[in-house]
Amino acid sequence: MLKDIMNKTGNLIVLSGPSGVGKGTIGARLLEKHDDLCFSVSATTREMREGEQEGVNYYYKTVAEFNSMIENNEFLEYMQVFGKNYYGTPRAFVVERLSRGMSVLLDIDVQGAKVVKANYPEAVMIFIAPPSLSELRRRLVGRGTDSEEAVERRFAQAKTELAMVNEYDYVVVNDDLDAAVEDVECILRASRLAGTNYKNELFEILNGEEA
């Protein structure tokens, strides 16, 4: 009975950090290993890239569609990145999955994570950090998805984002992928066992049992 109570409501897990730090790879590993964890697919106004799928990588919206969602308060957070494309976390999906006992994983940038924490203080905030700035630059270039100008812009932004690390509950350095995934898994277990939402209910159950 106590396990049923502890698993009743899921946790909102935020993976955040600079572009190229490996948030997406870590998140994918976690989703493969944990059936009680699901990924919150963001909405975006940017164009679909080769190999991407609607509803898997993003929900692809026109600017008009995105603005309509903003007006209807359908986002947990949203922002415009580098003055160009919009990205946002649909609120309904997150709330519905949490109520079913699923933990929801968000892979978002630092500014979006800050908004999520303000709107949902119970969120577990995990900052994924690079082992060094030089390694981060190498990863950004190695992705091959951005122009040289875009890489430099993302690298400059990363320095600002790294300065916000103290606003997070946990920091995981992604030097070795397997070790980083294991570290995040430890955090997931700890967040489940914290039982913040269930302490009163657990007390009532235990207090009502016969000795």
- 2-206 belongs to CATH 1.10.3720.10: no
Contact 85, 44 (CB under 8 A): yes
- Kindly tell me if the per-residue pLDDT of 203 is higher than 60: no
Helix ranges (DSSP H) in the chain: 2-6, 23-33, 63-71, 91-99, 110-119, 133-143, 148-162, 177-194, 199-208
190 alpha-carbon distance from chain centroid: 17
Residues 30-80: tens digit of each pLDDT = 999 999 899 998 999 999 998 999 988 899 999 999 999 999 999 999 988
Residue 6 has pLDDT above 80, yes or no: no
8-22 average pLDDT score: 87
Q: What is the tens place of the pLDDT at every residue in 159-196?
A: 889 989 999 999 999 999 999 999 999 999 888 877 55
Cβ contact 21:129 at 8 Å: yes
Integer Cα distance of 45 and 29 in angstroms: 27
Question: Which residues neighbour 28 within 8 Å (Cβ) at sequence distance 6 or greater?
Answer: none
Domains of the chain: which residue ranges?
A: 2-206
**199 or 35, which is more confident?**
35
- The whole-number pLDDT of residue 199 equals 53
The pTM is what?
A: 0.79
pLDDT of residue 2: 45
Q: What are phi and psi of 106, to 5 degrees?
A: -110, 130
| Better pLDDT: 90 or 140 | 90
Mean pLDDT of 3-20: 76
